[in-house]
Amino acid sequence: MPRIILRTLLKMLLVTLGVFVAGVAGLALWAGSEIASPERRALQDYHREFLDNPAAHGVGLASFALKDGTPCVMCAPHPGGKPGARGVKVREQLVQRGITLAEPGKITGTLVLAHGRRGRKEDYLLIAERLCAAGFRCLMPDLPAHGDHPAAHAGYGVLETELPARVLTEAAERFGFEPRPAGLLGISMGGSVVVHSAAQADAPWRALVVIASFDSFTAVVEHQTSKLFGGWSGPAWARMAGAVYRMRSGVALTDIQPGRKAASLGMPALIAHGSADRVVPMSAGRRLFDALPAGIEKKWIEIPGADHDNVLITDFPIYAEVAEWMLRHVSAAE
């Protein structure tokens, strides 16, 4: 009888262990796959409203695709020179700051905007409305594995290094405008993309703005897994998810290091982060800022009380800050 009980207990232990191992493997597979190919965000009703009536927002729109199939939208100030309500507010804030603005409808430069993880180019339409009112043409691509982009896997800057410059070059050729002066704006994952682009030796950019981003993607993944599974096991979960991500994308989590790229930047850079960010801790954004070279003009902005998802919609005048930075450094008048 004791042997039967022992064998039964051993079988139960092996079954339990097998279930545990299968569960761990399944969770790691899910997490790594979610990093490589996040769930794609569908077009929202407010996107459609904007796309159906861009003139009401003071802009004109043109959809196009790059030669590699990357879907893009160009958003430019409406030639009639009548900004939308959001644009009017930003212009008023800029005037209050002592900024002399060009007449509404005039374009003084071009900005390429890179969205965040699980986002899509249309998420930037309301951002572009404000920047167009300040005098900028805005180019917004879907990043790989997001929106309508044909690619299956995201590279968080490593695979997209050349994409922002190609968006600028191909749009200028298609629509017949001078590609320079130009600047970059990226949020979260898009921040890593634009830092990688700006660090290229032949980068065409005059200025950079990064919001709610990070210096090391591994640290962000470890932060998230630690919250889910406990601090003691977070790094182990991150390594397992990273292994799956590498199999899917060909990119190691440890290769996604915008902080290292930031150290070689040679242009003015503004880094902003919400003080209450629970997705990407503000400390990650601060480390990115601290990695910038001492010899460039740079600015750190802490947005009080802002979390990751509402960093652009608090009472803090972040759009005026961004527009002023771009007007100072990205302008045809310079």
What is the structure's pLDDT at 174? 98
CA dist 138 and 129 (Å) reads 9
Checking DSSP bridges between strand 182-187 and strand 269-274, what pairing results, if any? unpaired
Is residue 140 within 8 Å of 113, Cβ to Cβ? yes
Q: What's the distance, Cα to Cα, between the start and end of the chain in Å?
A: 91
Burial (CB < 10 A; 0-12, 13-18, 19+), residue 160, is buried
- The residue assigned the tokens 């634009």 is 194
Residue-by-residue pLDDT tens, the chain, 334 positions: 466 665 665 555 554 544 444 444 455 565 677 899 999 999 999 999 999 999 999 999 999 999 999 999 999 999 887 899 999 999 999 999 999 999 999 999 999 999 999 999 999 999 999 999 999 999 999 999 999 999 999 999 999 999 999 999 999 999 999 999 999 999 999 999 999 999 999 999 999 999 999 999 999 998 888 777 666 666 887 888 899 999 999 999 999 999 999 999 999 999 999 999 999 999 999 999 999 999 999 999 999 999 999 999 999 999 999 999 999 999 865 4
pLDDT digits (tens, 9 = 90+) for 91-119: 999 999 999 999 999 999 999 999 999 99
DSSP string, 146-163: STT-S-S---TTSS-TTH
What is the structure's pLDDT at 172? 99
Two structure tokens written together for 19? 């279930």
The amino acid occupying position 40 is R
Which domains does the chain possess?
1-36+219-249 (no CATH), 40-216+256-329 (3.40.50.1820)
CA dist 200 and 141 (Å) reads 19
Q: How many helices (H) and strands (E) does the chain have?
A: 11, 8
User: Nearest-5° angle of CA 270, CA 273, CA 277?
Assistant: 165
Task: Name every residue whose Cβ is closer than 8 Å to that of residue 16 and which is 6 or more positions away in sequence.
Answer: none
Neighbours of 1 (CB within 10 A): 5
Inter-CA distances, 284 with 156, 170, 218, 223, 296, Å: 15, 33, 11, 10, 20
